Amino acid sequence: MKITGLSVALLILLALLILQSIGGYLQIQNYRKAVRRMHKLGNVGLGQKRGRFLNGHVAIIACDNDGIITGAEVMDGIGVWARFHPVDQFLEKKLTGSSIFDFLELTKDFDKKKFKRYQGYLRAFEALEVRLTDRELTREQEKYMEERNRGRKRF
């Protein structure tokens, strides 16, 4: 049996797809462990900032029932090598022991560029706020989220 250049290319492509699948599986396992670890510290808020190449992150923030942050972890990095690591500060302020409401107040006047940069953290704080205050999104917020999601799909 003679192996041609096309056969070799297809075998290499298959091997890369298998490695990608294994890497994705390992990353999901890492995510699950981090969520379980943070859930032991209290209520959990998750936020994600998607990046085109290197600048994305996933933030997991835990707080008690009063909104006091008990722990925070962030995953940033490249592909399957990215792992969650503890974070002590956000915007040069200590996270653990601070209130999520203080951070929400601090970040409410962010411009669009700064909002995008810290989007994962902000979404995690907002998720915790919704969980703790049992507030629902207003129609304006829902409309805004739908428009943003529609706009994101173009890229």
The pLDDT averaged over each successive group of 10 residues in the chain (155 residues) is: 80 93 88 93 90 80 92 84 87 90 87 86 90 69 68 49
Q: What is the pLDDT of residue 32?
A: 93
Q: Which of 102, 24, 23, 22 is nearest to 61 (CA)?
A: 102
Residue 51 backbone zone (phi > 0: left; psi -120 to 50: alpha; other: beta):
beta
Q: What is the pLDDT of residue 18?
A: 94
Q: What is the pLDDT of residue 154?
A: 43
* Half-sphere exposure for 17 (CA within 13 Å, toward CB): 6
